[in-house]
Structure 1
Amino acid sequence: MKRSRSDPAQARARTHKPDPKVAIITGADGGISSAIVTAYRDLGYAVVATSRSMPDADDPQVLAFCGDLTESGVGARITGAAMDRFGRIDTVVNSAGVFFSNGLARSRARDLWRPDQLRQAAARKLN
């Protein structure tokens, strides 16, 4: 059976765009990280932009997420938000700076590794 040009299934197939790849970018409220968000958007990625004080995004393909990566569980909440909104995670750019007020030499090991929680949480969900 020959399909006509107005076949809805063919029209959907011609216009359907695959879901974009998704990048999580930390420290994205300014500086280099903000430029990284723009660069990934220019490449067609959806972006989860995170920072302790992340302003709202007016781009529907950018999810602004406020969170402090030094707090326990924030990495898992970021990856959960990415999965809920976009359904996938393809790239993680850890660009957030971390400051230890009592000095690096006097910090506890568990505090030093806490920012790594995002990488660990994302590794379980990367496509």
Structure 2
Amino acid sequence: MSQPVRAEPPRPAPQRPAVVVTGGGTGIGRATAHLFAKEGADVLVVGRQAGPLEETAAGHPAVRTFVQDITAPGGAAAVVAAALDAFGRIDVLVNNAGIIRPAMLGEVDWDRAHRQIATNLIAPLFLAQEAFPHMRPGAVIVNVTSNPAGKGWPGNCVYGSTKVALDFFTNTWAVELGGRGIRVVSVAPGVTDTPVLVHADLPAEERAARRRRYNARVPLGRTAQPEEIAWWIVQAARPEASYLTGSVLRVDGGIGVC
């Protein structure tokens, strides 16, 4: 006599990864949000202005927006609370927001220097500190950094120092959080086609001149596109990269080895 076939109980649908991207209104942040959403994640993009964030979210139902100055007191806690309210957890935190205000020594402005340090370094510190208690094993923090230590960058002593220090955060947090199963990685782009120099109030001619000088030095001979950097951010956060932590992935066209 044949045995009755038992129906398998329905399996719960896999959870969509919950991702937070700061500086999500333009450039690398926007491209990163779009790629995470394309790959099935729910994404919260964070920035100071509603307009650019709404442009990022337009046509992408999985992308939500949250307007917040991450350098403000309580800003990091507000971002984490918004993510938990939207998703119930945080699987990936992308510390992408950054500003640059070029100035040679002797011309460095106090307020502009402090704003760079607050945005590029202090905000990621407190975002990570607020986020990691709500992150499960397998979660990832990705810090978007820049130039390697040991090479001078005239006119960018403040900006460059914040990015080198952020790589040190990556190294240190990887050790501190490894026991919790949380990975920490830096993705360090070279010069990328984003509005960051526009926001630095550099004239168009100066921006073009800087781009020409850079492209003449980089082995690949060109500026990166935001999507090229976003690809590495998303790959670093994938489960298949589960043994990658404490590393700095330099996506700079080879200029870091020149």
Shorter-normalised TM-score: what interval? 0.7 to 0.9
The match for 1:121 is 130
Alignment of 1:1-127 (within 5 A): 2=4, 10=9, 13=10, 16-53=12-49, 54-55=53-54, 57-58=57-58, 59-98=60-99, 102-104=111-113, 107=114, 111=118, 114-115=122-123, 116-127=125-136
Where structure 2 has 5 or more consecutive residues not aligned to the other structure, the ranges are 102-108, 137-258
Residue 60 of structure 1 and its aligned partner are, at CA, apart by 3.9
For residue 19 of structure 1, report the CA deviation from its aligned partner. 2.0
Task: List per-residue Cα deviations over 1:39-84 (Å, max 9, x = no partner).
Answer: 1112211111111113273544222000111101111111111111
TM-score of the two chains, using structure 2 as the length reference: 0.40
Higher helix share: 2
Corresponding residue SS for 1:88: coil
What number of residue pairs does the alignment pair up? Answer: 118
Using the TM superposition, name which of 53-62 and 87-96 deviates more: 53-62
| Cα offsets for 1:6-38 (capped at 9, x unmatched) | xxx94xx26x42221111100000111100001
Alpha-carbon contact 1:71-1:114 (below 8 Å) kept: no
Which whole-Å deviations, capped at 9, do the CAs of 1:76-95 have from their partners, x for residues lacking one?
Answer: 11111111111110111111
Q: 1:2 & 1:62 partners in 2: Cα distance?
A: 46
Task: Compare 20-29 and 115-124 and name the one that shifted more.
Answer: 115-124
Larger radius of gyration: 2
TM-score, length-normalised on structure 1? Answer: 0.75
Distance, in Å, in 1 between the alignment partners of 2:99 and 2:74 is: 16
Q: Give the CA RMSD over aligned residues.
A: 2.9
Deviation at 1:4, TM superposition (A): 8.1
Secondary structure of 2:70's match?
coil
